[in-house]
Structure 1
């Protein structure tokens, strides 16, 4: 069995702990047991991290593509070598099934390998000008990046936040979620062990508002990259605006799923039920609002509830478990509030709607149907194991419901009608769309949303481009 590691921060390659720093207790969400004590940064730690990031940027901006590629591909190899250890640590501190954590390690390794190739494709261009003159367009690293990531993908989110700036030639101060610190430390250690200079990437933890205000007030930081809720994203965007820092914001969603009456309902259910309850629904692109055409509505609703009730819920480290606990004590409380409020408003509870067991943060896979549109759960991202299923008559009504909310991160649609597929692709307001598929991401594909779901992209060439600035040089 993998032992949970001792916790620290990493500043200039040094494991920082001890002293009179405040600490935060890290809890296993499956058992409620204490895993460790995490040291939290004070202002001296943050000042040191900023000074180190500034020094690291001056070094790394001048690194060659070969140097960056060697670090990223080397880290990818180390991630795969350490896959089982990293996956078990992520499951211990976040709760998701071990199978999901293993996939997450592979996702980061794939992203690092993609970026290792992308560093050779950061092309500029020469403009056509009269003889004797020259004009060029080049791309340069934006500068030190402050990167904040949440707890739901404790390996994948830090991988995105670290990989793109490093590929672009930037330095990074990484503040991942305090609930899942050992995972980000494991990812960063792979980069350092692969040869990343110690001053290029740091990992700090602390009281979130304190750390974000301090880092974003510093002129050292030139870019903010944030993944999290829309509310916090708006707050951080205002802080970044004071110094006109560039921002990438991957914010909340409320994923619509349009199911038309020409589909094989069982096939759709076989795919979507597992995807809905992946990571206990704590996924920003989770399918949540199922917008189902009337002819197949009852079959779809009943089949969804039946499959939800059959899922095996338990400790993610155990064999055969299909859904682990929620990540912290706040999430079951939120589920009880949102589901209870919806039922009070007239929704039908078809499955779940209750906690499981008397230890850990388990909540049953849940299904609500006939949910009033003004219910809070239909307008606030539930971020948990609950599917909302409502009937609709026409395609116009279904598309209108998909676009009703101010969110637009991910959407899904199931239909065999090619014309309808093209209409959905054109009219649904979203950053990512899966048609007869839930595979909406990849190392080479941009990941991001529209409207209140944020701006900018991670992954793909766009992820590196977001860490670059454009310079035009004209020579007479």
Structure 2
């Protein structure tokens, strides 16, 4: 499959595509060959102020639009995205690295996210409360106002759309800073809304120096909600800034998802399902299974099957036929993998397969399986966010649960067992906002996703996904003056 023509990148402010005010740009690099694809414009403070002002007028127009009309526009945008899923998939694969099949699937999936949120907004019901004669007591749910959102590079369509879909469906306007490393996909998504007839100012897309943009947008009086997906350290900084300004925030942060394979599980089936999830998007998924705790009676069978699955992964350019894992998204992740593997091996871990950068252009790292990894190894406490799988064993399930819960993270967790009673022990015992039993399923638009502990707060998806974007207003109306 040929690489698509990379688009000329622009920001989108107040219904118009524009360059940055001072002409500053940053290069966008293809991680499969390290070549520059194009230049992304970087916003100035004046650009951000224009976006903020537009979000106010956009909110006034969009929130006043009848919900049926809003829903129709959002469905039109979703249909346009579905129709161009192939193009968006090729573009995403080129700038982020994931295989085309994964990228195209992401584009189709987020179109359905938009449809779900648009329809669910029609069920954002209030209520009338029985009260004294002559008094009407009610509860209304209204859009909170302009939203400032910040999203990462690992899901160039998924992360921005979860913010955009929820905000617009609730009747809010939004200024979103998508990743400067994967800007083309974000531009394609915004173009679908523009063509669908979204009012000017309801959706604004900017790029820029992350610290500068976040500080400016969060502190601005126009911003009523801060929504972020990304790392825990950055999330804490943004949450603190939002708290200083007394603004609510929605934080979907990192994790270090444990996988517990119990004594009664099928080790081969568990290994195959876990490996498929581990190497999806080259392991660059916040819910990726990343610590494998396997009962001692199964650990060798599990490791053999997992290693076999890892060795079957086809590595290459995401647009090439048959590739099942692309490069890491940037050189920072490549260096991190090398450091984590070296640290684990230096502390006594064994490399069953992989453990090295591929000798070719691009940020390719071999799918890696580590065994005998001691607890003090960095990879046991630091989220790898890459294709490295540390496997350890346990003999007592309570000990495994304590190990799984020992870290400050609590985004996702996974368990494998053929016992309903043991499954319930896992459900009750694992500290995570997302839990899958006998598979490693990802997020779905019809159910909530989010973390506990340092992995964040608030939920995206499902009926709960609009909560952060709505204000609950109590109204007491005296009917007789």
The two structures have a TM-score, normalised by structure 2, of 0.97
* Contact preservation (8 Å) 1:69, 1:115: no
How big is each residue's C-alpha offset from its partner over 1:431-451, in whole Å with a ceiling of 9 and x where there is no partner? 010001222421110010100
> Which residue matches 2:262?
260
* Contact preservation (8 Å) 2:267, 2:298: yes
1:51 to 41, 50, 53: 53
The 5 A counterparts of 1:423-442 are 423-442=425-444
Q: How much does 1:172 deviate?
A: 0.3
4+ residue stretches of structure 1 with deviation over 6 A?
A: none
SS in 1 for 2:190: helix
- Distance of 2:139 and 2:330 partners within structure 1: 48
Q: More deviation in 161-170 or 439-448?
A: 439-448
- Distance of 1:149 and 1:348 partners within structure 2: 36
- Distance of 2:74 and 2:366 partners within structure 1: 40
1:134 to 125, 136, 139: 136
> Which residue matches 2:88?
86
- Distance of 1:4 and 1:161 partners within structure 2: 25
1:474 to 448, 473, 476: 476
Q: 1:198 to 1:348 in 2, by over 3 A?
A: same
- Distance of 1:118 and 1:26 partners within structure 2: 36
SS in 1 for 2:8: coil
How big is each residue's C-alpha offset from its partner over 1:167-218, in whole Å with a ceiling of 9 and x where there is no partner? 0010000101100001011111111211111210000000000000011110
Q: How much does 1:357 deviate?
A: 2.4
> Which residue matches 1:247?
249
The 5 A counterparts of 1:407-422 are 407-422=409-424
- Distance of 2:236 and 2:198 partners within structure 1: 33
SS in 2 for 1:34: strand
> Which residue matches 1:269?
271
> Which residue matches 2:382?
380
* Contact preservation (8 Å) 1:87, 1:101: yes
> Which residue matches 1:112?
114
* Contact preservation (8 Å) 1:54, 1:144: yes
* Contact preservation (8 Å) 2:20, 2:44: no
- Distance of 2:425 and 2:197 partners within structure 1: 49
Q: How much does 1:18 deviate?
A: 6.2
* Contact preservation (8 Å) 1:168, 1:467: yes
* Contact preservation (8 Å) 2:21, 2:44: no
Task: Report whether the alignment pairs 1:457 with 2:459.
Answer: yes
Structure 2: 5+ residue runs without aligned partners?
none
- Distance of 1:275 and 1:186 partners within structure 2: 27
> Which residue matches 1:162?
164
1:369 to 371, 375, 380: 371
Aligned residues: CA RMSD: 1.0
1:209 to 208, 211, 218: 211
SS in 2 for 1:107: helix
- Distance of 2:225 and 2:446 partners within structure 1: 22
* Contact preservation (8 Å) 1:145, 1:170: yes
> Which residue matches 1:16?
18
> Which residue matches 1:99?
101
How big is each residue's C-alpha offset from its partner over 1:63-116, in whole Å with a ceiling of 9 and x where there is no partner? 211122112111111111101000000000000000000110111111111112
Q: How much does 1:427 deviate?
A: 1.4
* Contact preservation (8 Å) 1:433, 1:440: no
* Contact preservation (8 Å) 1:432, 1:440: no
Q: How much does 1:19 deviate?
A: 6.0
> Which residue matches 2:351?
349
Q: How much does 1:358 deviate?
A: 2.5
How big is each residue's C-alpha offset from its partner over 1:344-366, in whole Å with a ceiling of 9 and x where there is no partner? 11111111110012301000001
> Which residue matches 2:125?
123
2:79 to 77, 86, 90: 77
The alignment of Structure 1 onto Structure 2 pairs a total of residues equal to 476
- Distance of 1:9 and 1:62 partners within structure 2: 26
- Distance of 1:306 and 1:377 partners within structure 2: 22
SS in 2 for 1:387: strand
Q: How much does 1:133 deviate?
A: 1.2
Q: How much does 1:256 deviate?
A: 0.4
- Distance of 2:212 and 2:373 partners within structure 1: 39
* Contact preservation (8 Å) 2:259, 2:292: yes
